[in-house]
């Protein structure tokens, strides 16, 4: 049985004395395997991890808030003695000390597992711009993971770390959270030290946090935050004032309908509206806002002189070894050379004017809700059109650090193809704690309509060899799943015994509208959301995961079959289920 890596669960077991950090680390290393998702650039060996475990041997778990908690580090953040590559092997150097934020986590008892894959030099929101391979989505490996903190997000989603560190300049700590069903914290700029971090845009960069839930995120944030004399951009935390996250009533801004962009993804649009309804259900009043100043600020990040700051970050390397840089990243950074110092001042003047417009918007609301990303793309789509599609991913994220905002990305349900969707809660700087409080209420409230994301668990309807007692049921139980209900689908399906392969391949296909179907026996199992990606990844074509309607009308994730595969299959709908069919066969 896999160890539950939730921070609270691990701490309880450590405090009870029935679990040791070394056993957790051994379990994690066994899970990583051959890394098919391209999560890691450098994995620590058991011996290297053992050094951190040994340092905890004489420590009282109750005195260290992150005692024995495994975490992953984006490979543009220094871990002493391990190469920092920023996704470019030729750029690599070996730091002699930890980044400030890493040191604080280790001092609190956390144990590093390794350095994770990223869009090279943290330039991208998609996770494909790496010489170590495109990092694959935890829920469907054909889709992008989001970036640039790609491996950091997928490591947590796959249960390879309790939390991870990313960076966020233009959305890199939020987009991967949305695409992998995680909480992603983009703190107020300067709250977490960037000393020991390879800069992207140094004046804008943030260290971000990926976590399984808001409680874990808050635990990490409380340890990692703190003023750092070594970081010129470090800031003291300020009191947040009105805690709208715990208030009975609050006002949240929603962009005008014509300013919302889902790039043709109607399911994402519907899930966003459900999230707005969920905020209303917990006391929020929606206020329509003009999103224009935020969009105009977002355009400055890549269309204005801030591109030159990316060039400044790696100027010497770029000027002497540009041939080693990913072609897309090289093209973006090369665009910096067209900007003059006068252009930089012009951009700053434009930004200051937009900040004043944003202040006017904030005077009417406590926080704002946006999609984290309007849609998601397949890896092959992104590789064909890397700049335009990446720009689409930044529609709701690129303005954030330019306008000095804090944000929390929150899971917000699943699309019919089984891929997660996420929203982002936004507020002005130093409102991080109210945002986390609001995110927690949103995820826990029983009246919110997105049950799957609220619980952090996913319900999956199975109809064949995954049924209890049948050969593949272990694929559920080994992931901590438990049986919720034995029931039937709605009477809208045909059920087939598929030809060829092993003898346990049923196919469930929804009938066309107006046609007569059958109710099919299913079992509903519930598993931790972080386990869902690896479960789906093991399902062979022509089977897959889609949305199944139960007899009660409830919709859950479930096994479906592609239509082409039933051409030569045997229709067994009249048996009403796989068990009855197997009994007849025997």
Per-domain boundaries in the chain: 7-235+255-288+357-449, 457-585
Determine contact, residues 194/103, Cβ cutoff 8 Å: no
Percent of residues, the chain, with pLDDT higher than 90: 80
Lowest pLDDT segment from 9-13, 355-359, 447-451: 447-451
Q: Residue 533: what pLDDT?
A: 77
pLDDT digits 0-9 by tens, 29-81: 999 989 999 999 999 999 999 999 999 999 999 999 999 999 999 999 999 99
487 DSSP assignment:
E
- Active-site entry in 74, 145, 186, 193: 74
- Active-site entry in 149, 172, 275, 518: 172
Q: Residue 445: what pLDDT?
A: 56
Determine contact, residues 78/101, Cβ cutoff 8 Å: no
Confirm whether 148 is a catalytic residue: yes
Q: What is the pTM of this model?
A: 0.79
pLDDT digits 0-9 by tens, 202-223: 999 999 999 999 999 999 999 9
Confirm whether 20 is a catalytic residue: no
CATH topology match: 7-235+255-288+357-449 vs 457-585? no
Q: Residue 452: what pLDDT?
A: 41
pLDDT digits 0-9 by tens, 86-141: 999 999 999 999 999 999 999 999 999 999 999 999 999 999 999 999 999 999 99
Q: Which residues contact 355 (CB under 8 A, 6 or more apart)?
A: 297, 403, 404
Given a cut of 80, whether residue 456 has pLDDT beyond it is: no
pLDDT digits 0-9 by tens, 549-579: 888 777 788 998 888 888 889 999 999 999 9
Nearest to 370, CA basis, from 394, 402, 401, 404: 394
Q: Quick count: other Cβ atoms within 10 Å of Cβ 267?
A: 17
| Reported confidence tier of residue 455, pLDDT bands at 50, 70, 90 | very low
Q: Which CATH number fits domain 7-235+255-288+357-449: 3.90.1300.10, 1.20.1260.10, 3.30.470.10, 3.30.70.2860?
A: 3.90.1300.10
> Between these two residues, 226 and 456, which has the higher pLDDT value?
226
Task: Find the helix or strand (DSSP H, E) in which 113 lies.
Answer: strand 111-116
Average pLDDT over the chain, rounded to an integer: 93
Task: Report the C-alpha gap between 568 and 475 in whole angstroms.
Answer: 28
Confirm whether 234 is a catalytic residue: no
Determine contact, residues 385/243, Cβ cutoff 8 Å: no
> Between these two residues, 417 and 252, which has the higher pLDDT value?
252
Nearest to 501, CA basis, from 541, 450, 550, 552: 541
- Joined together, the tokens standing for residue 327 give 């072609």
Determine contact, residues 283/471, Cβ cutoff 8 Å: no
| Reported confidence tier of residue 513, pLDDT bands at 50, 70, 90 | confident
Determine contact, residues 462/274, Cβ cutoff 8 Å: no
Q: Residue 70: what pLDDT?
A: 98
Q: Residue 300: what pLDDT?
A: 95
Task: Find the helix or strand (DSSP H, E) in which 210 lies.
Answer: strand 206-211
pLDDT digits 0-9 by tens, 393-414: 999 999 999 999 999 999 998 8
| Reported confidence tier of residue 539, pLDDT bands at 50, 70, 90 | confident
Nearest to 579, CA basis, from 518, 495, 521: 521
570-571: strand order across its sheet: 506-510, 493-497, 570-571
- Active-site entry in 148, 219, 534, 573: 148
Query: What's the CATH fold of domain 457-585?
Result: Hypothetical upf0131 protein ytfp (3.10.490)
Pairing verdict, β 70-74 and 163-168: parallel
Task: Report the C-alpha gap between 138 and 120 in whole angstroms.
Answer: 20
Lowest pLDDT segment from 225-234, 362-371, 495-504: 495-504
pLDDT digits 0-9 by tens, 331-347: 999 999 899 999 999 99
Lowest pLDDT segment from 248-252, 273-277, 471-475: 471-475
Given a cut of 90, whether residue 244 has pLDDT beyond it is: yes
Percent of residues, the chain, with pLDDT higher than 70: 96
Lowest pLDDT segment from 117-126, 176-185, 439-448: 439-448
């Amino acid at each position: 049985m896999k160890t539950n890596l939730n921070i609270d669960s691990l701490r309880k077991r450590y405090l009870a004395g029935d679990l040791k950090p070394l056993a957790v680390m051994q379990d994690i290393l066994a899970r990583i395997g051959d890394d098919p998702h391209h999560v890691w650039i450098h994995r620590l060996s058991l011996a290297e991890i053992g050094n951190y475990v040994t340092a905890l041997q004489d420590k009282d778990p109750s005195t260290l808030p992150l005692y024995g908690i495994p975490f992953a580090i984006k490979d543009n953040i220094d871990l002493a003695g391990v190469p920092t590559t920023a996704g470019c092997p030729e750029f690599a150097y070996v730091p002699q000390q930890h980044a400030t934020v890493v040191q604080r986590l280790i001092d609190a008892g956390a144990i590093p597992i390794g350095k994770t894959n990223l869009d090279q030099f943290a330039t991208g929101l998609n996770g494909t711009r790496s010489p170590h391979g495109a990092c694959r989505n935890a829920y469907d490996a054909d889709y992008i993971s989001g970036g640039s903190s790609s491996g950091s997000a997928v490591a947590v989603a796959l249960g390879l770390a309790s939390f991870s560190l990313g960076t966020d300049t233009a959305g890199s700590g939020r987009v991967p959270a949305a695409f992998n069903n995680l909480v992603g914290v983009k703190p107020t700029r300067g709250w977490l030290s960037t000393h020991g971090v390879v800069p992207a845009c140094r004046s804008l960069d943030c260290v971000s946090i990926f976590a399984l839930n808001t409680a874990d995120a808050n635990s990490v944030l409380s340890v990692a935050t703190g003023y750092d004399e070594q970081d010129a951009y470090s800031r003291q935390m300020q009191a947040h004032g009105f805690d709208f996250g715990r208030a009975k009533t609050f006002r949240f801004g929603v962009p005008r309908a014509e300013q919302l962009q889902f790039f043709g993804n109607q399911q994402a649009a519907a899930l966003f509206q459900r999230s707005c309804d969920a905020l209303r259900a917990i006391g929020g009043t929606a206020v329509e806002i003009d999103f224009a100043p935020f969009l105009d600020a977002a355009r400055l990040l890549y269309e204005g002189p801030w591109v030159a700051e990316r060039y400044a970050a790696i100027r010497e390397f770029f000027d002497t070894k540009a041939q080693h840089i990913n072609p897309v990243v090289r093209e973006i950074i090369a665009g910096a050379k067209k900007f003059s110092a006068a252009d930089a001042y012009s951009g700053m003047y434009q930004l200051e004017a937009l900040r004043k417009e944003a202040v006017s918007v904030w005077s009417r609301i406590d926080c704002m809700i946006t999609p984290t990303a309007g849609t998601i793309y397949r890896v092959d789509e992104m590789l064909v059109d890397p700049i335009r599609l990446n720009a689409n991913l930044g529609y709701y994220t690129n303005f954030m650090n330019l306008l000095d905002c804090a944000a929390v990305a929150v899971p917000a349900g699943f699309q019919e193809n089984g891929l997660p969707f996420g929203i982002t809660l936004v507020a002005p700087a130093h409102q991080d704690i109210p945002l986390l409080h609001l995110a927690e209420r949103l995820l826990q409230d029983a009246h919110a309509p997105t049950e799957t994301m609220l619980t952090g668990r996913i319900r999956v309807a199975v109809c064949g060899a995954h049924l209890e007692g049948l050969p593949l049921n272990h694929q559920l139980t080994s992931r901590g799943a438990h049986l919720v209900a034995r029931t039937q689908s709605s009477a809208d399906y045909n059920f087939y015994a598929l030809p060829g392969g092993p003898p346990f391949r049923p196919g469930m296909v929804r009938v066309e509208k107006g046609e007569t179907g059958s109710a099919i026996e299913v079992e509903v199992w519930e598993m931790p959301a972080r386990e869902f990606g690896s479960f789906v990844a093991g399902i062979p074509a022509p089977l897959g995961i889609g949305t199944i309607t139960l007899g009660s009308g409830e919709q859950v994730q479930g096994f479906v079959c592609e239509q082409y595969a039933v051409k030569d299959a045997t229709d067994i709908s009249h048996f009403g289920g796989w068990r009855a069919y197997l009994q007849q066969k025997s």
